[in-house]
Amino acid sequence: MDTITIHDSTFRIFLQPGEIHDAVERIARQLNNDLHDKDVIFLVILNGSFLFAADLLRNYHNSCRISFVKISSYEGITNEGRIKELIGINEILEDKTVVIVEDIVDTGNTLDCVINQIKEKHPAELKIVTLLLKPEAYEYPHKIDYIGFRIPNRFVVGYGLDYDGFGRNMTGIYSLVE
Ligand code: IMP
Ligand code: MG
């Protein structure tokens, strides 16, 4: 399928399933090499990362824990301004290598919020994996350790990513036709 329609918007194929598969295997190889002697816990950020995480971690062959967290849609107001709460972290992260698994980093607001909340739990180190990064939109200094694709600042769906809840089940990634 070269184009899909969600509501009234048209999306054109941007990354084929095979290209995604190759990138996922490349990242898995890097993780296998880099983390084999560490006490690792992967924190998969739901919902968008579910397919990426499943494909990535079935190619990760070292001992590890895997847990799933979600950003609440509720926004609390604190001294630092608006923050979203990270829900579902019940694990002890102290002294562990925590690896955040994200589908996409756009402005980086979400990632920044996740990182700040994980750091409060005193991991030994924190690594970040994202399938997609929009470099033109990214506003933070956090180093992203593993990147599948750097993509233009355009809205994409598929392979876990949604538009208004739709499109997550597509095996390719499609970008909005403006
Ligand atoms: P950020 O906080 O601006 O980095 O955006 C992060 C969140 O916005 C992601 O976790 C996605 O849920 C959503 N998002 C950003 N860009 C896209 C996109 O192109 N397609 C689908 N969702 C996106
Ligand atoms: Mg996400």
pLDDT at 81: 54
Question: Is 129 exposed, middle or buried, given 0-12, 13-18 or 19+ CB atoms closer than 10 A?
Answer: buried
Contacts of residue 40, defined as CB under 8 A and 6 or more positions apart, other chains included, come to 62, 63, 64, 65, 96, 97, 98, 99
From ligand 2's centre to the CA of 142, what distance in Å? 16
Ligand 1 atom closest to 103 (CA) = 10
Predicted confidence (pLDDT) at residue 137 exceeds the cutoff of 80: yes
Question: Is 159 exposed, middle or buried, given 0-12, 13-18 or 19+ CB atoms closer than 10 A?
Answer: buried
Among the four given CATH numbers 3.40.50.2020, 1.20.1540.10, 3.40.1710.10, 3.40.50.720, the one describing domain 17-153: 3.40.50.2020
Comparing 30 with 73, the larger pLDDT belongs to: 30
Residue with tokens 């990634």: 173
pLDDT digits (tens, 9 = 90+) for 2-44: 999 999 999 999 999 999 999 999 999 999 999 999 999 999 9
Predicted confidence (pLDDT) at residue 95 exceeds the cutoff of 90: yes
State if pTM tops 0.75.
yes
Q: What does the pLDDT average to over 68-83? A: 67
Ligand nearest to the CA of 103: 2
Q: What does the pLDDT average to over 114-130? A: 96
pLDDT digits (tens, 9 = 90+) for 54-67: 999 999 999 999 99
What amino acid positions are annotated as catalytic residues?
A: 106
From ligand 1's centre to the CA of 84, what distance in Å? 14
All structural domains of the chain with their residue ranges: 17-153
Predicted confidence (pLDDT) at residue 79 exceeds the cutoff of 60: no
